[in-house]
Amino acid sequence: MGAPGRIIFDLSSIASWSGPPVGISRVQNALATYALTALPDVVLSVFDKATSSLRAVNPEWARQLVGWESTLETRHFEYRRDARRLRNWLPSRYRVLMALEGVRLRSNSTLVRRGVDAAQRLVLLSRQMPAPFADRAGRRLAVVPARLALGKPLSMGPRDVVVVTGSDWYQLDETAIGKMKARLGFRLVVMCYDIIPLLFPQFYTADDVAVFRRYWDATLRLADRIVVNSRRVEADVKAYCNNELGCERETSVVPLGYDWRRGMRARAFSGKVDAGAPEDDAGITQEDATNGENATRIESTPLPAGLQPDRFALFVSTIEPRKGHGMLIRVWRRLLAAGVPQRHRFKLVFVGRRGWKVDAVLDQIDTPSGLEGSLVHLADVSEGELATLYRDAAFCVYPSRYEGFGLPIIEAFSYGKAVIASNGGALPETVGGLSPCLDPGDEEGWFTALKGWIEDPGARASYEAAIRRSFSHPDWSEAAARFFDVVRSECATAGS
């Protein structure tokens, strides 16, 4: 027997992330954070396109790269290829900027860090140049120089397992990964959140579908094991591999984690559980709730102007064609015509960023005509603001045509909120009988359900009681442990 194989975890997606933490980036961050905390033998790495290799992250910089306030400087990866185009500024100013950044990050002196930051800003002012030191919201980022953060290309073999969990269809070169796997012989574990663009291409642009298909056609053929988040996605992947690719692949189901106890703490802190009971039905004591890490911050975040507690339904999702915003607006207009929201001073709140192919829907959202101010769209909210919205909503809705998991369902349940959900994809699996699931095309059914829940809170009381009594879900520590157990089983296979 040779040396035991290693788990090599690819950080490419979040290492270069510079936006707010959302979706897949949150999942990769949670898994990487668990590995940093509990699995010191896991090798964190970044894919270097210039050399078609994985490079290990130096341990002293790992936490910096996994955090949301940092991004990896990778321009040197393309320096040789782009030198002619960049020759007017890269060799002088860019290297000065990155040398200063290295000093700033390694210094423990606040005065030195501030001085270096001022010097960098001065250099940037001297000529109009792209600035990698701020995210899209203008926040100052730590731009970690690759020469500090990354080691040499990893030497890998058949006993090693490479793990890819990010949104890498937009970042990795699947051809290069395939050639590297063929040359080195490592095993590949990938996390597939869903293959919705392959099942419902009408909801996406043709270019996005082509990129997604190219990546997953290659990756599904390459992968030794595919980790999915639901049995529905597992069935989708197996069917696609069999019917479209002519291959069979090993799969494992590991549901996404969520710190659902945080929602229960916030709900209890706000007085929305029975404070007289020694323990609420979900197993969270009142003492735990009021001592929760985020309780004070969440309590101090006010509702947006115009909203009243228990007087609005909440829908959390990026606005895109698949999610069902258009159908919900049509149903809402019928409710307004019947006078239902007006009688109960009730509103419908959409929380989510603008997606794609939704101009017509956004025109309806942004144009108050016929909606009487009862539809509210919040494009960007903080975690504290979102927690307040969940806490104070009367109930939640999720009319998506298809989901591979449906994490907003778990978020809503964690705050004790019942959800009128669709039966698209994995949503019935995620709901687990704790709320009704309707056909996303049945507008009459949605009209009846919304009308009933707005007019009579008792109509949803049995679901709320069931949520308090029996809702449970793996937190990220539990989910990550299960995920890495699957990966270790693949290591055992590689070593046998």
Q: Is residue 141 located within the same domain as residue 190?
A: yes
Is the domain of 466 the same as that of 490?
no
The torsion defined by the Cα of 16, 22, 23 and 24, in degrees rounded to 10, comes to: 20
Is a pLDDT exceeding 70 seen at residue 37?
yes
How far apart CA 256 and CA 10 sit, in angstroms, is: 18
Give the pLDDT mean for 87-95. Answer: 53
Cβ(374)–Cβ(408) below 8 Å: no
3-class DSSP state for residue 478?
Answer: helix
Regarding whether 486 and 438 lie in a shared domain, the answer is: no
pLDDT at 79 exceeding the cut of 80? no
* 319: its two tokens: 């606005």
pLDDT of residue 199: 95
Asked whether residue 219 is assigned to any structural domain, the reply reads: yes
**Per-residue pLDDT tens for 349-388?**
999 888 778 888 878 877 766 777 899 999 878 888 999 9
Strands 43-48 and 53-57, bridge-based pairing = antiparallel
Q: Which residue would you say has higher pLDDT here, 371 or 88?
A: 371
Return the pLDDT at 90. Answer: 45
Give me the number of domains the chain comprises: 2
Name the strand (E) or helix (H) holding 7. Answer: strand 7-10
Read off the pLDDT of each residue in 427-456 and give the average, rounded to a whole number.
Answer: 97
> Is the predicted pLDDT of residue 287 greater than 80, yes or no?
no
Of 1-10, 122-131, 187-196, 221-230, least confident by mean pLDDT is 122-131
Domain membership of residue 370 (yes or no) is: yes
Residue 258: closest CA among 54, 46, 472: 472
Higher pLDDT, 482 or 49: 482
Please state, in angstroms and rounded to a whole number, the distance separating the CA atoms of residues 14 and 167: 9
Whether 320 and 226 share a structural domain: no
What is the strand order of the sheet 395-398 is part of?
375-378, 347-351, 312-316, 395-398, 419-422, 437-438
Residue 402 has what pLDDT?
96
Q: What is the mean pLDDT of residues 203-212?
A: 90
Domain identity same for 69 and 203: yes
More confidently predicted of 480 and 119: 480
Could you tell me the pTM of the whole model?
0.80
Same domain for 447 and 370?
yes
Instruction: Give residue 18's pLDDT.
Output: 67
* Residue 262 domain-assigned (yes or no): no
Asked if 198 and 225 sit in the same domain, the reply is yes
Q: Which residue has the higher pLDDT, 300 or 33?
A: 33
Pair 174, 308 in one domain: no
Q: What is the pLDDT of residue 74?
A: 63
Examine residue 417 and state whether it is found in any structural domain, yes or no: yes
Is the pLDDT score of 293 beyond 50? Answer: no
Both 435 and 486 in one domain: the answer is no
Is the model's pLDDT at 85 over the cut of 50? no
Choose between 76 and 227: higher pLDDT.
Answer: 227
Confidence band for 164, pLDDT divided at 50, 70 and 90: very high
**How does the average pLDDT of the chain come out, rounded?**
83
Asked if the model's pLDDT at residue 438 lies above 80, the reply is yes
User: Which range, of 133-147, 217-231, 428-442, averages the lowest pLDDT?
Assistant: 133-147
Q: Is the pLDDT of residue 170 over 60?
A: no
In a domain? residue 35: yes
Evaluate if residue 165 carries a pLDDT over 80. Answer: yes
Residues 147 and 243 in one domain: yes
Residue 403 lies in a domain: yes
Task: Give the pLDDT score at 368.
Answer: 64
Position 115 in a domain: no
pLDDT score at 86: 43
Tokens of 210: 């082509």
- Measured CA to CA, the distance from residue 404 to residue 36 in angstroms comes to 27
Quick check: is 404 in a domain? yes
User: Rounded to an integer, what distance in angstroms lies between the CA atom of residue 394 and that of residue 314?
Assistant: 8
Name every residue whose Cβ is closer than 8 Å to that of residue 3 and which is 6 or more positions away in sequence. 159
Does the structure show a pLDDT above 50 at 244?
yes
Our measurement of the distance from residue 40's CA atom to the centroid of its chain's CA atoms, rounded to an integer in Å, reads 24
Q: Are 58 and 192 in the same domain?
A: yes
**CATH classification of the domain holding 188:** 3.40.50
Residue 126's pLDDT is 53
- Domain of residue 136 covers 7-89+129-254+482-495
Strand partners, 189: 163, 225
Q: Which of 124-128, 133-137, 316-320, 434-438 has the lowest mean pLDDT?
A: 124-128
**Mean pLDDT value of segment 398-407:** 95
Q: Any idea what the CATH number is for the domain that residue 427 is in?
A: 3.40.50.2000
Q: Give the 3-state secondary structure of residue 150.
A: strand
Question: Which two structure tokens, joined as six digits, stand for 411?
Answer: 């978020």
The pLDDT of residue 290: 32
Same domain as 307, residue 206: no
Q: Any long-range contacts for 321-324 (C-beta under 8 Å, 24+ apart)?
A: 321/202, 321/203, 321/355, 321/356, 321/357, 321/358, 321/361, 322/196, 322/200, 322/203, 322/400, 322/401, 322/402, 323/352, 323/355, 323/399, 323/400, 323/401, 324/399, 324/400, 324/401, 324/422, 324/440
Q: Which of 98-112, 285-299, 371-385, 446-460 is the least confident region?
A: 285-299
DSSP conformational letter for 93: I
